[in-house]
Amino acid sequence: MYSLAFGIGTRNSQDEWLEVFFPRPIFRPSSELVSQIAGAINYEGGNRDIELDGDKIQKLIDSIGEPEQKAILSAMKGSVKPCVATLIESDTELSSTPETYLKLHLLSYRYVRPNEQNLHDLYAILPNVAWTDIGAVDLRELDHLQLEARIQGRVLEVAGIDKFPKMTNYVVPTGVRIAHSARVRLGAYLGEGTTVMHEGLVNFNAGTVGPNMIEGRVSQGVLLDAGSDLGGSGSTMGTLSGGGKLVISIGKDCLIGANAGCGISLGDRCTIEAGLYITAGTVVQVLDENKNPVKTAKARELSGHSDMLFIRNSQTGVVECRTNHHAISLNESLHAHN
């Protein structure tokens, strides 16, 4: 069994799932627990979403021996929202909204890292939702609820319209700082010691090993290793919206300067100077230890190498790759988020 969880969610008037909150999902559950659950709710295998009524919840409480899950189920008995058991037997393509939400939870709970699970067709599965102060609302039902709120003398606050909610309404990882929670989507992976400043953004299936300083954009599919800093308005190139199929990773102790960008993978101890965007096709002049030209190459040929310093020569305008003798070191006190 890949994963299972008990959740509380929101459905529209057509009984379609809009979102699901899974408190404390279980990754790689024991066969004993799976057997206990299967007997209580008639689960016969496969990737399944099984709606839970009061009787099924009570049968689960009586059947399973895992204390934390029993406590969650006991609390769910009083839910006015629909409840569901989602069981993922194998990491195959997504088939439902609850299953997709469970996989996003696994990322934000740090059970899996970005690019380690099958999220194919995620955008086709997830509905586009209005995220409001009363929760998720189907866009087709929004007008009616807005009118109803006005009649009652209040305003229905619509914080966003998106397929993804903000992570912190579902998962708050330990040991992190997030200055503006709306800029971190559910499905982001934030390692211990990560700081995301006000203009930082972390997409789903992307993130940081920790500790890291994020003041720019971590795009879908990108993972920064420990000690690396993404400067203000800096950018990493993901695989969405024409970004290509190359998955970008950033090694340890790297610096992508303010307003800079990275479209290739970096090894350890690399620096891209402020304002310089390195794409796979950028023509780079490679210099030796004595700053003598060795060759000219496309940046993609340097992808994954360590100890690189990318700068633009202010006299010639040529992008140069030198040996980086000054790897960064993050301020430890800034990333101790106990």
Q: How many CA atoms lie within 13 A of 159 on its CB side?
A: 14
Place of tokens 């992570």: 167
Query: Which residues are registered as beta bridge partners of 298?
Result: 283
Cβ-count burial 1-26 (b if 16+ within 10 Å, e if not) = bbbbbbbbbbbbeeeebbbbbbbebb
Query: Which residues are registered as beta bridge partners of 278?
Result: 262
C-alpha to C-alpha distance for 9 and 138, rounded to whole angstroms: 13
Residue 215 falls in the annotated catalytic set: yes
Catalytic residue among 19, 99, 192, 215: 215
Amino acid (one-letter) located at 186:
L
Contact 9, 79 (CB under 8 A): no
Q: Which active-site residues does the annotation give?
A: 215
